[in-house]
Amino acid sequence: MTAPTKPPHSSPADGPGDALAGSPLGEGLHDPVIDWFDEHARDLPWRLPEAGPWGVMVSEFMLQQTPVSRVLPVYEHWLARWPRPADLAREAPGEAVRAWGRLGYPRRALRLHGAAVAITERHGGDVPTDHAQLLALPGIGEYTAAAVASFAYGQRHAVLDTNVRRVFARAVTGVQYPPNATTAAERKLARALLPEDEQTAARWAAASMELGALVCTAKNETCHRCPIAAQCAWRLAGKPEHDGPPRRGQTYAGTDRQVRGKLLAVLREAHAPVPQSVLDRVWHEPVQRARALDGLVADGLVEPLSGGLYRLPLT
């Protein structure tokens, strides 16, 4: 990304966010957050110019519900092996699952492989610049399409991940946490807060996300480091406690997710079909183990063969 320019007034939007676009609050967020980002942004490989749009797309798939520290080694290996979408598209989808390692939520690997195939077939191997074309790729949702268009191509889109939503909820709305699912009101607010200039809007998207990741965190937020603490509605209100539905952390131990991970770990390490008897050793409870294996097959992550053998998918 290039250095930010002086942001103009935010653009208009329908709904309750309209007033913020031209208000001192709406205007006053961009410069301090972007200036903070210029000084404190992490040096991450997908932010380098040489990463290109494909590197940005790969990072966005990997970073969903996964911390940067776990993504970095897998990302670097992935881009070294498959520097362009066509390189991945030539491989079997099971190789994407294998290279995904222990990042979790391995269906993301299949979706990224599917996107690479579509990019190769529909767009000559280049990640499309058009937001609608990005959104039409398999495995690409509202967030990912906006993120790639913004971070890879410098376009003006509201990029709403969990970190950005939390920053906006606190700084503007005055509540500790955003709703569990993104709402229409949040989208309107995000559009209202977008700088009108495309280059500045793209910088704002990255900067607000980084602020949520490093400072305005879900727990133990460090308001003394925040560039907009003096304007934060939640802090000025005395940091009222969350009064919505309880926010429960995801459990893992003993769940089907854990069993699926153990089964996939065996299949990733194997370069030949694996007998059922080998898979039976990874988990003591047969009903849960069978349910997890059936789920992997249904999700296309595991391919059953005759004779009770299993492998990562070839097609």
Kindly list the catalytic residues: 60
| C-alpha–C-alpha distance, residues 283 and 254, integer Å | 10
Residue 117 phi/psi, 5° resolution?
-65, -45
CA of 11: how far to CAs of 62, 152, 167, in Å?
31, 22, 19
Q: Which region holds residue 175: left if phi is over 0, alpha if psi is between -120 and 50, else beta?
A: beta
Decide: 30 and 195 in contact? Cβ < 8 Å.
Answer: yes
| C-alpha–C-alpha distance, residues 30 and 19, integer Å | 16
CA of 300: how far to CAs of 5, 134, 186, 258, 294, in Å?
46, 23, 34, 18, 10
Token match 């410069």: residue?
A: 31
What sections of the chain are H helices per DSSP? 18-22, 24-40, 52-63, 68-81, 85-89, 93-100, 107-122, 131-135, 142-153, 162-168, 184-193, 198-214, 233-236, 256-269, 276-279, 286-298
- Nearest residue to 198 (alpha-carbon basis) of 153, 152, 156: 156
| C-alpha–C-alpha distance, residues 147 and 137, integer Å | 14
Q: In sequence order, what are the beta bridge partners of 66?
A: none
